[in-house]
Amino acid sequence: MAAGPRLSYLRDWVYGGIDGAVTTFAVVAGVVGAGLGNEIIVVLGLANLAGDGFSMAAGNWSGTRSEQHELQHLEAMERRHIELDPAGEEAEVREIFRLKGFDGQLLDSIVRHIVNNREQWVATMLVEEHGLPIQVRSAWRAAGATFTAFLVCGAVPLLPYLLGAQASFSLACASTAAVFFAIGSLQARWSPRPWWRLGASTLAVGSSAAAVAWLVGKSLAPVVAG
């Protein structure tokens, strides 16, 4: 298979980081709203980091593996079609590039160039007929990027409590807000929207989740207090 562009795992890192910061900060806000102690925040926060981080990484691993299996299945199918009906597959290549506006000798040259290279022929059919990338990212790297980002960004709301800082919740709010904005702005790498708007959007989502968790904790505080 022909080499494709350099694979990126930035999206896995961004989404893992967003989820880590959002869910862990929601845990912190909920416990604070319920009026429980800092020890509860640390225990539940660390449990969330380990459990939810692993779950998200495992889900990403499974999804990426499914993409790999789909590519392998369709690649084998196209190789079989080329072997059994090369004339029909060549006609498909010709039609694909004719619809792109090529004709005459240029079209003949393009088709000849593609069908004379079996790997290029298969790659062309995967991309043009099935809309698939030539390469699929490593499932392990995708999962690793997600898990690492989840741990790193999700640990931020817990740091003031782990360090025993004064005004821990205020510090957690400020530091997590900065993380929300920074991670959101990274999405500008593949989005046409301005970086500051993406950062503000992610900050709004994270803050909303934390507010909901805080309100739930606050409403349940009398129940917890007994």
Token reading at 119: 């790997």
* Banded pLDDT at 158 (limits 50, 70, 90): very high
Whether residue 121 contacts residue 129, with contact meaning beta carbons closer than 8 Å, is answered with no
Choose among 141, 172, 137: nearest CA to 155. Answer: 172
Given a cut of 50, whether residue 66 has pLDDT beyond it is yes
CB neighbourhood size of 125 (10 A): 23
Alpha-carbon Rg of the chain, whole angstroms? 25
Q: What separation in angstroms does the CA of 4 have from each of 103, 137, 168, 210?
A: 27, 11, 48, 41
* Banded pLDDT at 41 (limits 50, 70, 90): very high
Choose among 39, 41, 14: nearest CA to 210. Answer: 41
Q: Pick the residue with more confidence: 174 or 217?
A: 174
3-state secondary structure of 226: coil
> Which pTM was predicted?
0.80
